[in-house]
Amino acid sequence: MMLRLQPYRVEPLQGVSDGLLTGYYEPMLEASRQRTATKTVPLYRPPATLASRKPWYSRRDIDTLPEAGAALRGREIAWVADPIEALILQIQGSGRVRITEPDGSQRVVRLAFAASNDQPYRSVGAWLLQQGAVRDASWPGIKAWAAQNPQRVNEMLWSNPRTVFFREEPLSELDAAFGPRGAQGVPLTPGRSIAVDKDSIPFGTPVWLVSSGPVLDLRRLVFAQDTGSAIVGALRADYFTGWGAAAGDIAGRLKQPLALWVLWPK
């Protein structure tokens, strides 16, 4: 790589700005194939009418309009207990779900991104900060606020009109050793895959990443293998931390300066 590749520092086209590194991960949720007394939040397949309306119904519409609910009836993959965990799953784009079947058996599957309602993404953390409701807009802070303000949870959720629909995929032993497939079409590797703005850095590009902060101190080779609606601009990256609670804790707190060098053929 040193013989054949040349590093180029990534800089914004206009002005000088610090880059931003955030993290993302693959959540692990407990779910039921059928709605129960405690698991009342559905995770949906794409509706059949998705292509007929752009953008499709907003998150609030889905919860309140009879026609939106009718379009999703029968499209439930599984049901989970916590609407905030469901939101996190949608924001991350995929996750692992332990589903309890009607006969009581359990199996772990992956719910992968299948489509969205084409509505804009709005951060619920930013909404809470604007409301003066929290000072800590991390996921632990958001969950603590929700526990204290259950009557306002829907209001918070509806501040983000975007919702995501999933497809269910089997999770073999080999698949379980890697993350979901990113936008490049290859499985993500914890600590080595990043999401980028694909208009700034092409998929598959090796990237030297430097970021120092209170959560991680990184100086390492990574690969541009994914993208996301919130990843905009050349000096912006989302670092894939893996799956489960520990990875989620890192991803939820990661927000620190970033420098990037792309490695391109000489």
Unique residue bearing structure tokens 């619920």: 124
Residue 86 Cα distances to 39, 44, 94, 207, 265, angstroms: 11, 11, 10, 32, 42
Indicate whether 47 pLDDT > 90.
Answer: yes
pTM of the model: 0.77
CATH placement of domain 5-24+180-265:
2.40.40.10
Cα torsion 71, 76, 79, 84 to 10°: value is -50
| Structure confidence at residue 68 (pLDDT) | 96
Q: Where are the domains of the chain?
A: 5-24+180-265, 26-177
Side chain identity at 23, as an amino acid letter?
Answer: G
CATH number of 26-177: 2.40.240.50
In the block, residue with structure tokens 């999703």: 72
Q: Cα dihedral sign for 70, 72, 77, 82?
A: negative
Predicted confidence (pLDDT) per residue in 68-118, tens digit: 999 999 999 999 999 999 999 999 888 999 999 999 999 999 999 999 999
> Which range (8-22, 58-72, 179-193, 224-238) has the least confidence?
8-22
Taking the C-alpha atoms of residue 111 and residue 115, their distance in angstroms, rounded to an integer, is: 12
Which position has the higher pLDDT, 244 or 75? 75
